[in-house]
Structure 1
Amino acid sequence: MDGLLLNTEDIYTLSLNEILATYGKGPLTWDVKIHLQGLPGEEAGQKVIDTYDLPISYEEYNRLNHDIQARMWGQCKFLPGAVELIKYLNSEKIPIALCTSSAKIKYQLKTKHLQENFQLFDTIVTGDDPRIPKGRGKPFPNIWQLGLKELIEKFGTAIEPQECLVFEDGIPGVKSGLAFGANVIWVPHPGAYEYLGDTKMLLGNNGELLKSLELLNKSKYGL
């Protein structure tokens, strides 16, 4: 969801820079941010604290983050091609799951003004789902496995991971999608390209890199 469907990566940067500035640190740069994408909230927050040597606990960091972001979530909007893809998959009755590292409360705050389109997902799994063992967020595949399990239960049909497409923007998410066994459509933030490394080696023959969801060739994947 974050950075793939919604512009929340930019909002995260703004809110985090506000915290960093309070302690005379920052600004957040993409060489650091690239390692935060897709991580569960506590893991990402602790990485920020450690990277910038912030004199606060994770609990204090989380409180500041929550207060600042609460002012900004109303600015969330869909990125180019996202709504069109969601509507298309729904209209074609292709099972779709949203598997986001965001905790449930953050998912709700980000999407409450966008529910008309988020209601088109067949199931939604958030990063704090108790069925995901602690420490098994992305880049581990557990969240995708849980999303697929719920789709299978809803539709009553067998679906194998290799029949799935995982859409991601960050490296931890790409790694988790590949570990899950799916083909991965990787749509990075424009600011991330310089720090992606060898994308062809990471993806292998199991996906592709796109600059926008608008550029997805659906027929290539039988959609």
Structure 2
Amino acid sequence: MGVPGSSTGDEFHRWAQLPIPREQFKREQKEQQRLHFPHCKPLPGVETLLANLNSAHNVDGNKMHIALASSSEKNNYELKTSLPETKEIFSVFDENRRILGDDPRLQKGRGKPAPDIFLLALQVINESLGDGEKAIKPSECLVFEDSVPGVEAGRRAGMRVVWVPHQGLAAEYEKRDKEVLAGRTGLVPIGDEWQLGNVDDGWAVKLVTLENFPYEEYQIQADS
């Protein structure tokens, strides 16, 4: 779901109407994650995208800065990136710019769709800028997300969002794309409705793939 923590797990358990107790589901889920996460591979286009963004500039010639803001807790992140080639791809993120779901700086229960993880990632970037570099505003950020709560979190943070859902998820929300992009699905109600976007406001788009990403549409000058 793109959301850490037991409260959102409870939401999923109720929604799915699973015929097993919550604790049993958690145990079986962890076992499946342990078995399958080490075989995770990035989506097509991710390797090129990250490499390009890591060396890119905006139209004013300012260096682009990137950070990872993932709901995965540290153990799961390490499982997902355990393949040497995957670990190499994600090495573009400086260690201090990897914000994970169990980061102690995140308030418990404030995972996605709350904006906290993205705002923390931006804070970390701004705190590590070089001399003469201007602080980056949320409105100058671009979030890449595959989950519905993640899109909402990005919108709540005041950032532009690119949604690249798995085919199954895309099919599930086929008739609600506009609500997803506005952050208005109400999947996990958390209040603060003023943070949400508006339908067709142009601040979020859905892409089928990250291959051949249209950098120029976001005023990004990639080296390749």
| SS of aligned partner of 1:117 | helix
Tell me the alpha carbon deviations over residues 82-120 of structure 1, each in whole angstroms, 9 at most, x when there is no partner: 010001111225211110111111101111222111110
What TM-score do you get using the length of structure 2 for normalisation? 0.76
1:205 corresponds to 2:205: no
Aligned position for 1:120: 92
Q: Structure 1 residue aligned with 2:69, among 87, 99, 105?
A: 99
Query: Residues 40 and 216 (structure 1 numbering): CA distance in 2 closer, same or farther, change over 3 Å?
Result: same
**In 2 relative to 1, CA 98–63 (structure 1 residues): closer, same or farther, beyond 3 Å?**
same
Uncovered stretches (5+) of structure 1, i.e. residues with no partner: 1-36
Whether 1:178 and 2:155 are equivalent positions in the alignment is yes
**What pairs with 1:131-142 in structure 2 (closer than 5 Å)?**
131-142=105-116
Q: Kindly tell me the number of residue pairs found equivalent between the two proteins.
A: 186
Give the CA deviation at 1:169. Answer: 1.5
1:162 positional shift:
0.3
Structure 1 residue 63 and structure 2 residue 41: aligned?
no
SS at 1:87 equivalent: helix
Residues in 2 aligned to 1:215 and 1:209: alpha-carbon distance in whole angstroms:
14
Match of 1:160 in 2: 137
Q: Please give the residue correspondences for 1:69-108 in structure 2 after superposition, counting only pairs within 5 Å.
A: 69-92=33-56, 93-108=63-78
Kept in 2: contact 1:45–1:61 (CA 8 A)? no
Shift of 1:41: 4.5
Match of 1:188 in 2: 165
CA contact (8 A) 1:41 1:103 kept: no
Amino-acid identity (%)? 40
Q: 1:145 aligns with which of 113, 116, 119?
A: 119
Q: Quick one: distance in 2 between partners of 1:55 and 1:209?
A: 35
The one-letter amino acid of 1:103's match is E
Deviations 1:96-149 (A, max 9, x none): 111011111110111122211111013110011121112211111000000001
Contact 1:98–1:125 (8 Å) recurs in 2: yes
Q: Which residue of 1 aligns with 2:3?
A: 39
CA distance in 2 between partners of 1:175 and 1:218 (Å): 22
The equivalent of 2:185 in structure 1 is: none
How well do the aligned residues superpose, as a CA RMSD in angstroms?
A: 1.8
CA distance in 2: counterparts of 1:181 and 1:193, whole angstroms: 23
Gaps of 5+ in 2: 57-62, 183-200
More helix by percentage: 1
Is residue 164–residue 208 contact of structure 2 (8 Å, CA) maintained in 1? yes
